[in-house]
């Protein structure tokens, strides 16, 4: 635990300190990528608790993803020690779930209502057809709540109950929202109910990283924060601690035509004169591009040294870079296949974020149910194991209770899948069930895993890596275009923001590549480099492709 008190803000720069120590009332922190938003947010919470006698249990910190919430919780633990546990940290969905659980009866739900999984939804949809009223009624009859309803039901409940609104405002006097640029209409309504117009609401974000409008997010809420909340204080953070100067310069030029931040400035804190330029590679095909990634990774991580990982050793020839420092980012999931194949052929370990939800895996719902009702004891991970055993025994012999659909092997796999999440949740069963219900993913992308990370640009938000490959920087992928349709200006602007998010994930080394031909929608076509590259000064790039046409690796030449 770090020392709390005067030294608390020492690790912040001047503007971060202004933001962290601002007095109560609405506060908007407009901050570009890599300017230390999470750092500032956690220090603000710690400062308020240590210096202004705010109680940790009066603080509510909301983020958009479970991973971001875990990261926030982890950093708060480091700053505040055990009392950090009293801060409520969660996603909008887990917040909605908390409100619903606490007021189930008032919302017309039984105390043990459950979140519908894909199978539940498919069944209800099958029975209800297009009839949305009926669909909800069917879910309700089975004590189920749809994921969207985790937000709409609490909003409806609070709207009709001023007393309840007062109670929550009394409980969470200090509210913090990260990535505020991605708030949607219902989340915004929930926030307005929880925070009065002059409340201690601290919103942090970057309008230039708004990339979720296709899901209903509206950057407009960010832009009109000072109209919605009275006497809002505005703090801007402009110093970027993440990226080398050439990477940052390229990113700032790339966003300029669509920037939503007046006079966007991002000053590099890192001023290494030796910093390499942005590598640019024009590949002939997606396969050539994949080879380029493999070659470069191989050189960086030290030639053949990684092969020794196969035999369980990391031997000599050590370099300071390891596979976990490297990420490959792409616009569409379909682009991953050739890269995964090429890396696998070169024996380079890969981890790819999966979007499959844990709760949709066979066996998982049964174990969660069992956990709730079987009265087990011990640590959460031990309880998951016991629940698995009970289920496996019950289903080893065919039963007549009608729920024999779970196979023992599914139960075993489910126990393996659930154990890491159980460990992360300690003894907190409610937290564990909340995380399952609100979409914990199958793979817990492990930042320390000794593997190259493959991610879509959307999934890369908020993360940073020493080395980043942004592949497929082509017209049609960035901006994304479907055959026969042209993206409108707003869509192009959002694609440009996505490109900006990608470029700004890199700390030391950034490679941008494009292929001259690529198969999409079942046909291979000639492609052009992304128009987003045109606004970047060519002097910031180092061309890595041969300037003359590459000589074909043709054995005929050797025959002479």
Binding residues for ATP: 31-38
| Per CB under 6 A, 21 contacts ligand ATP | no
| Per CB under 5 A, 461 contacts Mg ion | no
At residue 232, the 3 state secondary structure works out as coil
Distance of closest approach, residue 505 Cβ to Mg ion, in angstroms: 11
| Per CB under 5 A, 462 contacts Mg ion | yes
Q: How crowded is residue 137: how many other Cβ atoms within 10 Å of its Cβ?
A: 12
User: Would you state the structure tokens that stand for residue 291, as one six-digit string?
Assistant: 């080879």
Among 388, 462, 472, 529, binds ligand ATP (CB under 6 A): 462
Q: In the range 492-531, which residues lie near ligand ATP by CB under 6 A? A: 504
**Cβ neighbours of residue 54 closer than 8 Å, sequence gap 6 or more:** 48, 173, 174
Residue with Cβ nearer Mg ion (212 or 541):
212
Return the range that interacts with ligand ATP (CB under 6 A); candidates 27-35, 185-193, 384-392, 394-402: 27-35
Among 9, 31, 290, 348, binds ligand ATP (CB under 6 A): 31
Give the whole-angstrom CA distance, residue 437 versus residue 96: 11
Distance of closest approach, residue 250 Cβ to ligand ATP, in angstroms: 16
Return the range that interacts with ligand ATP (CB under 6 A); candidates 18-26, 34-42, 353-361, 478-486: 34-42
- Report which DSSP code applies to 279: E
Distance of closest approach, residue 267 Cβ to Mg ion, in angstroms: 18
Give the whole-angstrom CA distance, residue 374 versus residue 385: 12
Return the range that interacts with ligand ATP (CB under 6 A); candidates 19-27, 29-37, 120-128, 486-494: 29-37
**Nearest-CA neighbor of 411 among 430, 436, 386?**
386
Residue with Cβ nearer ligand ATP (41 or 425):
41
Distance of closest approach, residue 547 Cβ to ligand ATP, in angstroms: 34
Return the range that interacts with ligand ATP (CB under 6 A); candidates 37-45, 143-151, 317-325, 335-343: 37-45
Q: What sign for the dihedral angle of Cα 303, 306, 311, 312? A: positive
Give the whole-angstrom CA distance, residue 552 versus residue 555: 9
Among 12, 109, 235, 470, binds ligand ATP (CB under 6 A): 12
Burial of 494 (0-12, 13-18, 19+ CB in 10 A): buried
Distance of closest approach, residue 67 Cβ to Mg ion, in angstroms: 11
Residue with Cβ nearer ligand ATP (504 or 513):
504
Residue 214 CA neighbour count, 13 Å, CB half: 10
Among 2, 24, 38, 83, binds ligand ATP (CB under 6 A): 38
Give the whole-angstrom CA distance, residue 158 versus residue 132: 23
Q: How crowded is residue 126: how many other Cβ atoms within 10 Å of its Cβ?
A: 10
Give the whole-angstrom CA distance, residue 415 versus residue 428: 17
Distance of closest approach, residue 461 Cβ to Mg ion, in angstroms: 8
Distance of closest approach, residue 54 Cβ to ligand ATP, in angstroms: 22
Fill in the per-residue mask, 13 to 52: x = in contact with Mg ion (CB under 5 A), - = not in contact. ------------------------xx--------------
Among 206, 325, 370, 495, binds ligand ATP (CB under 6 A): 206
| Per CB under 6 A, 37 contacts ligand ATP | yes
| Per CB under 5 A, 509 contacts Mg ion | no
| Per CB under 6 A, 70 contacts ligand ATP | no
Q: In the range 228-247, which residues lie near ligand ATP by CB under 6 A? A: 241-242
Give the whole-angstrom CA distance, residue 154 versus residue 156: 5
**Nearest-CA neighbor of 358 among 97, 66, 25?**
66
Q: How crowded is residue 237: how many other Cβ atoms within 10 Å of its Cβ?
A: 25
| Per CB under 6 A, 35 contacts ligand ATP | yes
Give the whole-angstrom CA distance, residue 5 versus residue 214: 44
Return the range that interacts with Mg ion (CB under 5 A); candidates 81-89, 456-464, 475-483, 548-556: 456-464
Backbone angles phi, psi at 115, to 5 degrees: -85, 130
Using CB distances below 5 to 8 A depending on partner kind, what does residue 13 bind out of ligand ATP, Mg ion, none?
A: ligand ATP
**Nearest-CA neighbor of 76 among 53, 49, 52, 43?**
43
| Per CB under 6 A, 287 contacts ligand ATP | no
Among 19, 27, 29, 39, binds ligand ATP (CB under 6 A): 39
Give yes or no for a contact between 245 and 273, defined as CB atoms under 8 angstroms apart.
no
Note the helical H segments in 259-396.
286-300, 336-345, 364-373, 380-396
Cα angle for residues 373, 377, 378 (degrees, 5° grid): 140
Residue with Cβ nearer Mg ion (38 or 389):
38
| Per CB under 6 A, 34 contacts ligand ATP | yes
Residue with Cβ nearer ligand ATP (17 or 331):
17
DSSP 531-544: GGGGGS-GGGEEE-
Which positions lie near Mg ion, rule CB under 5 A?
37-38, 462
The residues of the shown chain that bind ligand ATP, judged by CB under 6 A, are: 12-13, 16, 31, 33-39, 206, 209, 241-242, 462, 464, 504
């Amino acid at each position: 635990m770090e020392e709390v008190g005067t030294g608390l803000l020492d690790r912040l720069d001047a503007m971060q300190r202004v933001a962290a120590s601002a007095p109560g009332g609405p506060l908007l922190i407009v901050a570009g990528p890599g300017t230390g938003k999470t750092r500032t947010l956690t220090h603000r919470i710690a400062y308020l608790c240590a210096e202004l006698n705010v109680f940790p249990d009066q603080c509510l910190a909301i983020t958009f993803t479970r991973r971001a919430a875990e990261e926030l919780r982890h950093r708060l633990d480091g700053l505040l020690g055990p009392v950090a546990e009293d801060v409520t940290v969660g996603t909008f969905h887990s917040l909605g779930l908390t409100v619903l659980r606490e007021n189930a009866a008032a919302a017309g739900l039984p105390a043990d209502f459950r979140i519908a999984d894909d199978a539940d939804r498919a069944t209800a949809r099958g029975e209800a057809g297009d009839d949305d009223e009926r669909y909800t009624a069917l879910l309700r009859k089975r004590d189920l709540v749809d994921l969207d309803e985790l937000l709409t039901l609490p909003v409806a409940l609070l709207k009709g109950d001023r007393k309840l609104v007062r109670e929550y405002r009394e409980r969470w006097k200090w509210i913090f929202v990260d990535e505020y640029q991605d708030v949607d209409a219902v989340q915004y309504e929930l926030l307005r109910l929880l925070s009065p117009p002059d409340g201690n609401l601290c919103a942090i974000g970057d309008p230039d990283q708004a990339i979720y409008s296709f899901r209903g997010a509206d950057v407009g809420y960010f832009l009109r924060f000072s109209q919605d909340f009275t006497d809002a204080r505005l703090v801007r953070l402009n110093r970027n601690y993440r990226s080398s100067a050439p990477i940052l310069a390229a990113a700032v030029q790339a966003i300029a035509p669509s920037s939503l931040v007046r006079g966007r400035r991002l000053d590099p804190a890192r001023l290494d004169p030796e910093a390499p330029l942005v590598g640019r590679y024009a590949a002939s095909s997606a396969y050539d591009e994949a080879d380029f990634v493999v070659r470069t990774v191989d050189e960086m991580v030290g030639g053949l040294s990684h092969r020794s990982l196969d035999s369980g050793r990391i031997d000599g020839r050590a370099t300071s870079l390891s596979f976990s420092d490297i990420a490959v980012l792409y616009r569409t999931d379909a682009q991953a296949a050739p890269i995964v194949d090429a890396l696998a052929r070169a024996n380079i370990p890969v981890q790819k974020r999966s979007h499959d939800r844990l709760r949709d895996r066979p066996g998982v719902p049964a174990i969660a149910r069992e956990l709730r009702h079987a009265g087990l004891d011990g640590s959460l991970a031990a309880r998951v194991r016991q629940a698995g055993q009970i289920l496996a025994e019950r289903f080893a012999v065919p039963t007549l209770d009608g729920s024999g659909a779970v196979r023992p092997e599914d139960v075993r796999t489910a126990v393996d899948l659930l154990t890491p999440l159980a460990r992360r949740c300690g003894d907190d069963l409610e937290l564990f069930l909340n995380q399952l219900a609100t979409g914990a993913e199958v793979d817990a992308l492990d930042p320390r895993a000794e593997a190259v990370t493959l991610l879509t640009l959307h999934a890369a938000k908020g993360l940073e890596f020493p080395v980043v490959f942004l592949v497929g920087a082509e017209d049609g992928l960035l901006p994304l275009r479907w055959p026969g349709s042209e993206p409108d200006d707003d869509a192009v602007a959002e694609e440009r923001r996505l490109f900006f998010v990608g470029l700004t994930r890199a700390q030391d080394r950034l490679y941008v590549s494009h292929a001259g031909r690529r198969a999409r929608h079942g046909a291979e076509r000639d492609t052009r480099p992304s128009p987003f590259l045109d606004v970047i000064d060519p002097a910031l790039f180092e061309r890595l492709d041969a300037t003359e046409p590459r000589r074909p690796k043709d054995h005929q030449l050797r025959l002479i």
